[in-house]
Amino acid sequence: MATSANSPSKPGWREVLAALRHRKTGYMLLFGFAAGLPYALLLGTLYAWLSDAEIDLETMGVFSLIGLAYAFKFLWSPALDRVNLPFMRRLGKRKQWIVTAQLFLGASLVTLSQLDPVGALGWFSLLAGLGAFASATQDVVIDAWRVDVADEVATIDILSTVYQMGYRLAALAGGALALVMAERTSWPTVYLTMGAILLVVGILGLWAPDTDASVIEAIEGENDDEHGLRQAGQVTPRVRGWALAGVGALWGWALIVVGVFMVRSLGSTPEARPDSVEFITRMGPLIVIATVVIPAFIAAWLVRQEKTGRNLLAASQPARSKGDRILDHLYRALVLPLTEFVGRMGWSLVLVLALVLTYRITDSVWGTFAYPFYLGELEYSKDEVAFASKFFGVGAVVLGLALGGYLLTALGRMQTLLLGAILAALTNLLYADLSVGGHGLAVASRFTGFSWAVEALGSDVRMAKLLLAIGLENLAIGIAGAAFVAWLSSIVAKGYSAVQYALLSSLTMLVGTLGRGALGQMIEERGYFDVFILTTAIGGVAVVLVIIEWMRSARKERLLPPDPEVSRAVPDSA
């Protein structure tokens, strides 16, 4: 396949530096920061404010439900792909949503800073929930923007790495920096400051580049007959209508279920409030089946109709009414992204989904139990854990992202994806060693001189073991994260990126959420050592899947002829 913006050759340092100076790269860093800041403030730091306000734990548990907006953000992603905001369309297909979400988030945080969490708890929780919804919406559109604007200079690999750097820096600002500010000023001052920052980012976003609408429309087929829907050779409107009704009913059911649960949780007394863990465990898999698995089978059936020549129009049949045009619009929004993805990937979609579900599960499942492990099992102090995880750990992640970005350009996407999978799996063994005394880490720390450096700073070997484990794990997370987001961005299609990327990234988050209950039970019954051995094994499965995906994508590149035109689907290997 010809080299393109999304399937780059291995450039030298000049090309990499040129990409880092590119206007799109600068805005990607800014948008990454804008995506990570509200997530840190609404799903982490907010609990510190509520604790200082002496809000009871039962009530604080309700605030954790706003995180569902991030897990199920794909449910409204079709609207973000197809709907234009009034008076904002001229900003661009993606930018109109990005700027609106950022300005809304900034205004929400500023308003939140003026509320008393005790005296106005209802408004406080409502605003936090709306903020989480806007933040999740922003994430969907920023992911789509990254895919759509990538070119030969600002490649998808560079943009993906820079995005995560901005996101991690925002996590540091919205976490550790916010806590330091709150200690010296007040929580209202912290949220007022952070809200003002997002308002500035939203204003700066007005000048961000966006993909030309004509390019996206050509990719989607709205200016030609490729997906005119009613041209000769297209699936008949009647069959499309049944498919749309089926997929729409399933997605509508999922939206209603999540919406009703959120309303009941936020509006009920503690006694009548539904169990969030039970909901996620019981309804989570059903929602995935209803919104991903069954629609994928429906999309595969539609693709087969086209390939076998069944239920196709013999001649063009223009839309005769406004109702026909509305149905076509809904079909483009909800079903066409699925048929495009299934039609392009074929049976390899099973491999892709398996890799999506396993690649990041080792750190997404284990992350919930990190603090109980550090504080309870190993009995480190809160100050020690805060320094190791929030400062040293974040620095290691950013370093890993920088290294991952370099490896993406120097080695290639699939090579870096494989290296990231291997490192992410093996670093679980560091925690396995730490859980039984950390003797291996102690030897490695002394051999490398790391213990000497830590002791020179006034600490001891015990702290050196924790720093070494967290540092190496976060370094691996940075490399794996850079490669995974770049790969995930590369397998979605321009024009359909909002729906396709949101679906895949939500699956990554959901599988970690669904597995935490079983992992917690295993910790109770067998201890941490066995859990870390299990997560290492799961990481090994991801390594095998990456090798198979590498072989598949390499074979695909060999078979496809060069294409100098803008590809409707982004290539999926470097």
* Domain range annotation of the chain: 1-211, 215-334, 346-559
Closest by Cα among 130, 322, 95 to 207: 95
Q: Categorize the per-residue pLDDT at 170 as very low, low, confident or very high, splitting at 50, 70 and 90.
A: very high
Q: What number of helices (H) and strands (E) belong to the chain?
A: 28, 0
Please report the sign of the dihedral spanned by the C-alpha atoms of residue 39, residue 45, residue 46, residue 47.
Answer: positive
Same fold, 1-211 and 346-559: yes
pLDDT tens string 364-393: 666 667 777 887 888 888 778 878 887 888
Which range of 7-11, 83-87, 414-418 scores highest in mean pLDDT? It is 414-418
Smallest CA-to-CA distance from 302 within 254, 334, 348 is with 334
Q: How far apart are CA 505 and CA 500, in angstroms?
A: 9
Contact criterion met (CB below 8 Å) for 159 and 25: yes
Is the domain spanning 346-559 CATH 1.10.645.10? The answer is: no
CA distances in angstroms from 69 to 39, 229, 278, 299, listed in the order given: 11, 33, 17, 26
- The pLDDT tens digits of the residues spanning 21-75 come to 778 999 999 999 999 999 989 888 888 888 888 776 666 666 666 777 887 888 8
pLDDT winner (highest mean) among 182-186, 245-249, 256-260, 287-291: 245-249
Say yes or no to pLDDT of 323 above 50. Answer: yes
Residue 212 banded pLDDT, cuts 50, 70, 90: low
Q: What DSSP string runs through 111-147?
A: HHHTS-TTTTHHHHHHHHHHHHHHHHHHHHHHHHHHH
Alpha carbon distance 548, 179 (integer Å) = 45
Q: Which CATH class is domain 1-211?
A: mainly alpha
Q: Are 547 and 358 in contact (CB under 8 A)?
A: no
**How many Cα atoms occupy the beta-carbon half-sphere of 502 within 13 Å?**
30
Are the beta carbons of 380 and 374 closer than 8 angstroms? Answer: yes
> pLDDT band for position 4 (50/70/90)?
very low
CA dihedral sign, ordered 273, 278, 282, 283: positive
Structure tokens at 3: 């080299």
Angle, vertex CA 255, rays to CA 250 and CA 258, nearest 5: 125
Token pair 């907006």 is found at 69
Average pLDDT, the chain: 83
